[in-house]
Structure 1
Amino acid sequence: MTEQQQHDSHQGDVLGTRERVETSERLVSRTCAWCGAEMTYSGSGRPRRYCSDSHRRRADEARNGARRADAATARGERTTEPVREVVERTATTVRTVYRPGPKEFVRVPAPPLPGRPQTPQEWVELLGELGVDINRGVIPEHWHTVLQPMLADLLRRVGGPEPSRAPAVPQQPQPSRAERRRQEREDRKRRR
């Protein structure tokens, strides 16, 4: 019995097994079509056929003139060996084993979130600290507009009175475009 079969027999009844083999190939290196020198492939883009531009040009010339190629072969500058490629093949086996589930399900409560109040007393203390921070000015004004609807919704849910809205700060009317331009001109004159 193999180690995998022993492991499977200790885990309980096997309902089914599915195996899938995935094979992938990746070019690792190739030889120069002109001189036969080995070139490594980076894995991106089209693989190079020649180790240098001069060998690419020489091969182009050889295609256009058989006489020149024969002379280069005779001098030993050009190889007559075929182009060789090194290809890496990877096979991955994915094995899925199906087993019967537990006979009965047991609900396990989630652990409490760290830093979050768990009891009503802790909530009262936290909301009291929030009120103190608001009174001391620790919480910036722009957060008051975010907190107010949330607290109003909370009071509605617990059946408390709706909080009264703080009076809105009256905004000054915006000057017209002509008034702004006039003001800018006056400011520029004063700076001169």
Structure 2
Amino acid sequence: MGEDEAQIRERLVSIECAYCGAEVRYVGEGRRPKFCSASCRSRAWELRRAASKLGRESPMPTVVREVVERVVERERSVPASVVPRVVGDWVPLLEQLERQVRDEPWSLVRSKDDFEELAEAVKGLYDAFSWRNPEPTNTTPPVHQQSAPGVQAGGTLSRQQRRALERQQRKHR
């Protein structure tokens, strides 16, 4: 089935009783019912029989309403989200992100925390590339301080620790 083709299925859902007009459920199997009960069927038969003895038309209504459910199935091709693997795939996406941050930053985020999280992710990306082109800031070797368990050298928290700390701070506001 192509994109323009559609598969249409119709299914009878309910019918009006030919005698009293009440709704008659139809499960889709077997012969379609005309009456809601045996008493309606026998009353309709009595009316038809009496009308034929008197030589008159059938007193039964000729219009019976049917409720039909129509299901239209269409196939659509949606491009799958693919994770870029090479620089040539990443560059256009990063340029698009840059344009969006400059032109309409609030379309990316729902709160200030989201914007800060995005900024931290970009900073982490920049830091990940800094090993390729290190900028000497201090010619003396760094002094290693004894830090608390789980804290990285230099007193900085990992991303997971920062998020946990932010959650605790929000919780106690």
TM-score (norm 1): 0.33
Please identify the structure whose Cα radius of gyration is greater.
1
TM-score (norm 2): 0.36
Where relative contact order (Cα < 8 A, 6+ residues apart) is larger, the structure is 1
